[in-house]
Amino acid sequence: LDYQHVQVPFEITLWIMLASLAKIGFHLYNKLPSVVPESCLLIFVGLIMGGIIYGLNDRSPPVMDTDIFFLYLLPPIVLDAGYFMPSRPFFENIGTILLYAVVGTLWNVFGIGFSLYGICQVEAFHLRDVSLLHNLLFGSLIAAVDPVAVLAVFEEIHVNEKLHILVFGESLLNDAVTVVLYKLFRSFCEMPTIKSVDVFAGVGNFFVVGLGGVLVGLIFGMTAAFTTRFTKDIRVIEPLFVFLYSYLSYLTAEMFHLSGIVAIIACAMGMKRYVEANISLKSHTTVKYFMKMWSSVSDTLIFIFLGVSTIGENHEWNWPYICFTVIFCLIWRALGVLVLTFFVNRFHVNTITSKDQFIIAYGGLRGAICFSLVFLLPDFRRKKLFIAATTVVIFFTVFVQGMTIRPLVDLLAVKRKRESAPTVGEQIHIRFLDHLLAGIEDISGHWGQYYWKDKLEYFNSKYLQKILLREYDQPKSSIVLLYEKLERKHAIELAEAGQLGHAPSHPSLLRSAFLCSDDDRTVVTDKKLEDALNPDVLENIQEILARNLYRIRRTGPAYSRHTLPGETEPVEHAKEILILRHKSL
């Protein structure tokens, strides 16, 4: 027996296997996942595993290695998040998200830090040796909302898209703020005196870290898109480039002390549309599938490790400090959301309701990032107290908030995500309004969201597409692309239901589609819309519309990270087709 030789890959494989089997186990009992979020169950598995290791070895089980977390487990999750980020709601709410992510996080850090320092001044609590700087350092790591925890919970409760993107976007973008503050306070802790110049340098650092991350990400994203132009003859390695370039963007950003999370998100969002156009359909399926698989496994491993690492002897218990930490985390977040939303609502027509505000405040879950950061702290007397407090905050938010948020969403009747995709009518009107508003903003000289979007789109089609896309000579309207996608999906479902060859050709629907689009055409006066919908494109749309009108009403179901779209009931479709056919006969 030669275990030494294969130990490293064997143990890694076994951990991943454990994670995958745990996931299967939960889904075998259908009732369990609907009551308890998966993250709680996984932490529980981790606790049991940790207990077993502790019992057998009689020493603390290994804690989750910070390097493993930041270098190997976090990137797949963030890549998945960035690649599947719904870009429209994200960019529509980018201002609000940034406000929450930057100002909100600062508010929380200083709020929690200073008020905990206040608690430390109470003689009875025996905490006089925790300095203000240590409290602020602790605040900087405990304040940040965790994207992994937020994703795990919010994907199961299906709140409306805006609410989801506000919480999730904040959790992703606050990384830049957390990185800067954490490093700033850590270096302050080690400095003998702090000059005001250092503080200003710290503030300037925000922009460097955040915007630098975006820049690094975009550079790698564009390079990835450019590379996939040349993969036509070796389709099998296409998916690799998506992963390699994203990972390189993350590592490069981390190397230069920029925000790796921001970089990988910028990379994924930047490359997506070009890469998708360049690579083959099967490569694309593989990319999507593997991203989901990878992030799903990483996420499982993180929660299991979180449980395992909790067991052991690295905790110092101090009731007042820990209780007040949990309370302050809740209070300051609630206050922050209230104040910031007040300002946001003054400048927006589409306001954030008080119910939504409650869910935003309540959805501020903490997770593995805090946990890794607290272990990264330099050794000092009270490090174990901080570890204990962080663990309690994470467990409180994941278990108590994570498990009660679904009943609360039901109770408050928070607006849910619509289960169906928008219809063609809606999509055409949204697009029409976009062009109209861009025109209005252009004429009135207001440099708003639509103006910039339009300029970006122009830049994209004029320069970027020519460089990054392989087959630029056939630019297709996004609606045409959508229909091609739907049609492919439909064809597969038909074939699986054994109905191919029986699809009706709908002459009546064809005529009505023509009429309908003629009506639309008389409405269209905006020059830009006319450009986008020139006769050829329109004909293309009409042709595809005609063949698909009975399909339009139902597109994909709501997004869930544990299923891939396109695995729905083919039998129903087949039935519908039969009914339609009978009618036409």
Residue 333 CB, shortest distance to a second copy, in Å, is 31
- Cβ distance to a second copy smaller for residue 67 or 530: 67
Residue 83 CB, shortest distance to a second copy, in Å, is 14
Residue 61 CB, shortest distance to a second copy, in Å, is 23
CB atoms inside a 10 Å sphere around CB 542? 16
Residue 425 CB, shortest distance to a second copy, in Å, is 21
- Cβ distance to a second copy smaller for residue 454 or 493: 493
The tokens describing 270, both together, are 């930047």
Residue 33 CB, shortest distance to a second copy, in Å, is 9
Give the separation between CA 420 and CA 509, rounded to whole angstroms: 22
Residue 583 CB, shortest distance to a second copy, in Å, is 16
- Cβ distance to a second copy smaller for residue 114 or 256: 256
- Cβ distance to a second copy smaller for residue 488 or 527: 488
The residue behind tokens 């002897």 is 313
Residue 28 CB, shortest distance to a second copy, in Å, is 6
Angle, CA 505 vertex, CA 499 and CA 508 arms, to 5°: 140
Residue 310 CB, shortest distance to a second copy, in Å, is 25
Residue 500 CB, shortest distance to a second copy, in Å, is 5
Helix axes 260-278, 196-227, angle to 10 degrees: 20
DSSP annotation string for 130-147: S-HHHHHHHHHHHSSPPH
> Identity (one letter) of the amino acid at 270?
G
Residue 232 CB, shortest distance to a second copy, in Å, is 8
10 Å CB burial of residue 326 (0-12, 13-18, 19+) is: middle
- Cβ distance to a second copy smaller for residue 17 or 323: 17
- Cβ distance to a second copy smaller for residue 484 or 518: 484
Contact in structure between 340 and 100 (CB atoms under 8 Å): yes
DSSP annotation string for 95-108: HHHHIIIIIIHHHH
Distance from the Cα of residue 50 to its chain's centroid:
29
- Cβ distance to a second copy smaller for residue 436 or 503: 503
CB atoms inside a 10 Å sphere around CB 480? 17
Contact in structure between 92 and 449 (CB atoms under 8 Å): yes
- Cβ distance to a second copy smaller for residue 281 or 323: 281
Residue 248 CB, shortest distance to a second copy, in Å, is 6
- Cβ distance to a second copy smaller for residue 164 or 292: 292
- Cβ distance to a second copy smaller for residue 350 or 505: 505
The tokens describing 303, both together, are 């929660």
DSSP code of residue 401: I
- Cβ distance to a second copy smaller for residue 29 or 319: 29
Contact in structure between 403 and 37 (CB atoms under 8 Å): yes
Residue 483 CB, shortest distance to a second copy, in Å, is 10
The tokens describing 170, both together, are 């904040």
Checking phi first, is residue 232 left (phi over 0); if not, alpha (psi -120 to 50) or beta?
alpha
10 Å CB burial of residue 527 (0-12, 13-18, 19+) is: exposed
Give the separation between CA 76 and CA 433, rounded to whole angstroms: 36
10 Å CB burial of residue 320 (0-12, 13-18, 19+) is: middle
The tokens describing 502, both together, are 């029986």
Helix locations, 445-502, DSSP H: 449-459, 465-468, 478-496
The residue behind tokens 């997004």 is 559
- Cβ distance to a second copy smaller for residue 435 or 506: 506
Torsion from C-alpha of 50, 53, 54, 55, nearest 10 degrees:
120
Give the separation between CA 162 and CA 89, rounded to whole angstroms: 6
Residue 490 CB, shortest distance to a second copy, in Å, is 7
Give the separation between CA 76 and CA 294, rounded to whole angstroms: 6
- Cβ distance to a second copy smaller for residue 296 or 357: 296
